[in-house]
Structure 1
Amino acid sequence: MLHQQTSLFATGAPVLGGLDRLRRTPLAHGAWIDVLPGWLSGADDLFAELAAEVPWREERRQMYDNVVAVPRLLAHYGPGEPLPDPVLAEARDRLGRHYAAELGEPFVSAGLCYYRDGRDSVAWHGDRFGRGATHDTMVAILSLGEPRPLLLRPRGGGEPARKVPLGHGDLIVMGGSCQRTWDHAIPKTRASVGGRISVQFRPRGVA
């Protein structure tokens, strides 16, 4: 088992910081990202709690002639379902208030992905099921545990991929047309990395 590296400010009871330090980066085609490093202190202890207590499931999908395991573990909490730690409900609600003028609706669901080590990954994709396929929307991701790079690139290419390292309580919000006009991925790595959990907050009808 890999040793889980911890950050100096990532242990202890989980506490959210302010959102005033969010920094926006405009992307092409009407997309943008907001990034806030270390929004949640105590993130590593929360990672350990969620890794041990969330009812993770392994999905399988058809790949050509074989059925293969999706290389990460998943959990989902829909509208009205209690989240596995109160700080996640607080994060969802605070993000909803912060982005109320732009988004026009609250974040209502939380999807969790557990990347157990460098072999776990997610391929290039956008959250284009439901309204995200046709309308501007937002997806906010709170990252717990070891940093892994989130890569972003425009659909169809045209410029090099951008790399945003995320871990230890970092926050990224993808907004505008980002889900329709850009793709994102967490690549595999041969480096010895510990686990990472991403918590994705979404509005109604975005998946």
Structure 2
Amino acid sequence: MKSEIFNLPDAELEYFPNFLNTEKADLLLDKLLKEVPWQQQNIKLFGKEIPQPRLTAFYAEQGISYTYSGLQLKPNSFSTELWKLKQATEELSGFDFNTCLANLYRHGNDSMGWHADDEKVLGKNPVIASISLGGIRRFQFKHKTNKDLKESIELQHGSLLIMKGSMQHFWKHQLPKTKKEVAPRINLTFRKIN
């Protein structure tokens, strides 16, 4: 499968624009929109509790939990579709995953601010495999110390983005709001929690 490699300092970033064909991606998007137990949790921002600007669901192998931004996520068992996607992602990337955080961005106002996936439970150099379904959104990166280093990518329907190496130590990423008319987007992020 053809991929694009981004030559970023202190990072490894590989993008597969056609990880899933359009028919498979359409079917999966429709099924996940209907069947995932989406929820909107409150997060603390500057001392205030506000609703998270997207919906989420967490899937994990038995006995695994995940906490980020003060949220304790209760795991669901992997569905057949998500398990198959996990296996396909592992086969392509050469890495093992035991969790999936699903995010639903309902419209352009749903977003994810600047952050790095660098929690201790993810290990020293975490690998994050991220599948995009639905509306095309711009995904942005910026280096933590060199302000001149920035990158962005339009994440296509059915694509897979793999962030690895020391990327989470040196780079932050975000999915910003957009005023453009955009279809709902699901993002499936596979990780390994130790």
Deviation at 1:141, TM superposition (A): 0.3
2:85 to 85, 91, 95: 91
Deviation at 1:59, TM superposition (A): 1.1
* Matching residue of 2:169: 180
* Matching residue of 2:31: 49
Deviation per residue, 1:130-178 (Å, 9 max, x gap): 244x611210000000110110111134324211111310110001011
- Classify the secondary structure of the residue corresponding to 1:118: coil
* Matching residue of 1:113: 103
Deviation per residue, 1:44-93 (Å, 9 max, x gap): 2311211121101111022335311010000000124642342x322211
* Matching residue of 2:143: 154
- Classify the secondary structure of the residue corresponding to 1:98: helix
1:165 aligns with 2:159: no
CA–CA separation in structure 2 for the residues paired with 1:85 and 1:22: 26
The 8 Å contact of residues 167 and 196 in structure 1, kept in 2 or not, is answered as: no
- Classify the secondary structure of the residue corresponding to 2:98: strand
2:116 to 126, 131, 141: 126
* TM superposition score normalised by structure 1: 0.80
Residue ranges of structure 2 left out of the alignment (5+ in a row): 63-75
2:183 to 184, 188, 194: 194
Which residue identity is paired with 1:37? P
Residue ranges of structure 1 left out of the alignment (5+ in a row): 1-19
1:28 aligns with 2:17: no
Root-mean-square deviation (Å)? 1.8
* TM superposition score normalised by structure 2: 0.85
